[in-house]
Structure 1
Amino acid sequence: MRQFIRLLLIPVVTGWLFGGCSEKLEPKPATYSQLLTGTEKKTWKMVSLQIIDDGTPSGVIPVSQSGINPCIYDDLLTFYANPEHKFEASEGSTKCNASDPDIYVTDTWTLVNANASLEFYIPVLDGKYPWTIKNLTASALTVQYYFPDINASYQFTFNSVTTK
């Protein structure tokens, strides 16, 4: 009888201990802001642009073939996941002037999920504009700016280069 109880109780108790503690893991999809910032910060680099004039797109133009100075298009844009929504624009591998600081713009970014609007600074245009998010994944960001007074827009694509 003792042998029978041992053979019956040991597997039952072991199964209860290991099986009773399991928890079903539910994946949590990343939010727009997490895709943009990572958990701490994420840095993006411009890779292409497109000009849409009167509904006619120019085709995707790699920034290296756009005629834009490399000291501008290789700049890095860092979005922070902090409550202040800190944003930094920093020099890439090519500086326009050797005396330029590495981080030359410190500002904030604003994201409105309802209309997929993201406001931030882009070095090529030297300004902060409200952009419509066309695509946002963990590794790619495409935004478009619609000019209010003419039937034209700019579209820029960035790739993630670092994430924390």
Structure 2
Amino acid sequence: MISNRLLTIILGLLTVGLAGCSEIKEPTPLTYTQLLTGKEKKTWSLTSFEVIDDGEESGPVPASQLFSNACEADDQFVFYANAERKYEYINGPTKCASSEPDVLLEDTWTFVNATATLEFAFPLLSSGKLPYIVKSLTENSMTLEIYLDELDNVDASYRFVFTSASK
């Protein structure tokens, strides 16, 4: 009787001890910043834009129509996952001139979760940081919108769609 009881206690202790050793791994969802930067850095290409004026949408327009030279249309946006939150606007595969640098602009980016606001320098609009509302962000696509309501009597915004160029 004592040996059965002792065996039951030992088996119970072993079961509890072994169960405590197993580690349950739960998947970690990607944060907005991880979707933006990847693990180290992520490169984005502008694919289309849209103008929303007084609530009327222009419809998507290919990004190539923003540029006077085709060589500018393939320039890319690189967001780094480092502590400095480095950001680069770089020449794409086609340079406009062989003397043109690989990095056209270097700056930093910031992201505010509470307002889904991404601030960075977007050379098409300004060389300084501007606040863009993140309308959607996945691993492969990003839609940003900037509102122009700061100007007098203007009820308009620009919506930009980017596609991940990173593999």
Same-fold status (TM-score > 0.5) = yes
TM-score by length of 2: 0.81
What residue number does 1:151 align with?
155
Whose relative contact order is higher, 1 or 2, with alpha carbons under 8 Å and at least 6 apart? 1
Instruction: Could you tell me which runs of 5 or more consecutive residues in structure 1 were left unpaired when the two chains were aligned.
Output: 1-11
Structure 1 contact 72–123 (Cα < 8 Å) conserved: no
What residue number does 2:121 align with?
121
How large is the RMSD of aligned CA atoms in angstroms?
Answer: 2.4
Q: Secondary structure at the match of 2:87?
A: strand
2-structure distance, mates of 1:72, 1:145:
21
Task: Give matches, 1:38-57, under 5 Å.
Answer: 38-57=38-57
What is the Cα deviation at residue 67 of structure 1?
4.8
What residue number does 2:132 align with?
131
Count of matched residue positions in the alignment of Structure 1 and Structure 2:
153
What residue number does 1:74 align with?
74
Q: Deviations over 1:9-49 (max 9, x none)?
A: xxx8xx96987643222111111111111111111111111
2-structure distance, mates of 1:63, 1:79:
20
Q: Deviations over 1:119-162 (max 9, x none)?
A: 11223224331101000111111100101211111110111111
Q: Secondary structure at the match of 2:114?
A: helix
TM-score by length of 1: 0.82
Structure 1 residues 56 and 25: CA distance shift in structure 2, 3 A: same
Q: Secondary structure at the match of 2:23?
A: coil
Q: Secondary structure at the match of 2:22?
A: coil
Instruction: Could you tell me which runs of 5 or more consecutive residues in structure 2 were left unpaired when the two chains were aligned.
Output: 1-10
